[in-house]
Chains A and B, each alone.
Chain A
Amino acid sequence: MNDERPPPPDEPERPKPAFAPLGMPPAPPIRPRAGDIIHTGPELAVGEADVRSAERAEVVTGTSLWRDAWRRLLKNKLAVFGMIMVATITLASITGPFLIKQFTGLTPHYIPTDIAALKSLPPFTATDGSFSWLHPMGTDNQGRDLLARVLQGGQISLMVGIIATLMSLIIGVSYGAVSGYLGGRLDSLMMRLVDVLYSLPYIIIVIVLLSMFRSQTARGQLILLFVALGSVSWLTMARIVRGQILSLKNQEFVLAARATGVSTPRIIFWHLVPNTIGPVIVYATLTIPTIMLTEAFLSFLGFGVQPPIASWGSLTTDGIQNIAIFPWQLICPGVTMGLTLFSLNFLGDGLRDALDPQMRKV
Chain B
Amino acid sequence: MLRFIIRRLIITIPTILVVITITWGLIRLAPGNFYTGDKALPEAIEQNIREKYGLDRPWHEQYLRTMGQILRLDFGTSLRYEGKSVNEIIARSLPVSATVGILAYLLALIVGITVGSIAALKQNSKWDYASMTLAMLGISIPNFVLGPILVLFFSLTLYWLPPSRWDGFPSKSVILPVITLSAIYMAYIARLTRAGMLEVLRSDYIRTARSKGLSETQVVIRHALRGGLLPVVSYTGPALAFLLTGTVVVESLFVLPGLGKYFIQASLNRDEPLILGIVAFISMTLLTMNLLVDIAYGYLDPRIRQ
Contact = CB atoms under 8 A, between A and B. Distances in A.
A207 interface: yes
B273 to A, nearest CB: 14
Given A199-B286, A207-B267, A361 B26 contact: no
A209 interface: yes
Chain B: interface secondary structure? helix
A342 B142 CA distance: 11
Given A196-B14, A323-B151, A301 B249 contact: yes
Given A338-B140, A345-B139, A200 B11 contact: no
A38 B135 CA distance: 50
Interface string B273-287: 001000100110011
Given A212-B30, A301-B264, A205 B142 contact: no
Interface residues of B, number: 51
A208 B27 contact: yes
A192 B253 CA distance: 37
Contacts of B133: 78
B27 A199 contact: no
B269 to A, nearest CB: 9
A199 B241 CA distance: 9
Contacts of B148: 319-320, 323, 330, 334
B268 interface: yes
Contact of A345 (B27, B140, B151): B140
Given A196-B14, A199-B290, A334 B275 contact: no
Contact of A204 (B14, B30, B282): B282
Nearest to A300: B144
Given A203-B244, A324-B156, A362-B191, A208 B275 contact: yes
Interface residues of A, number: 47
Given A211-B268, A323-B151, A297 B19 contact: no
A238 to B, nearest CB: 17
Chain A: interface secondary structure? helix
Contacts of A158: none
Interface string A293-313: 100110011110000000001
Contacts of B248: 207, 301
B18 A338 contact: no
Interface string A205-232: 1011101110000000000000000000
B160 to A, nearest CB: 15
Residue in B14, B241, B282 with the greatest tally of chain A CB atoms within 10 Å: B241
Given A211-B268, A212-B270, A346-B136, 5 more contacts: A204-B19, A207-B267, A208-B26, A212-B29, A316-B145
Interface of B: 11-12, 14-15, 18-19, 22-23, 26-27, 29-31, 133, 136-137, 139-142, 144-145, 148-149, 151-152, 156, 188, 191-192, 195, 231, 241, 244-245, 248-249, 252-253, 263-264, 267-268, 270, 275, 279, 282-283, 286-287, 290
5 contacts: A200-B19, A204-B279, A205-B22, A300-B249, A324-B156
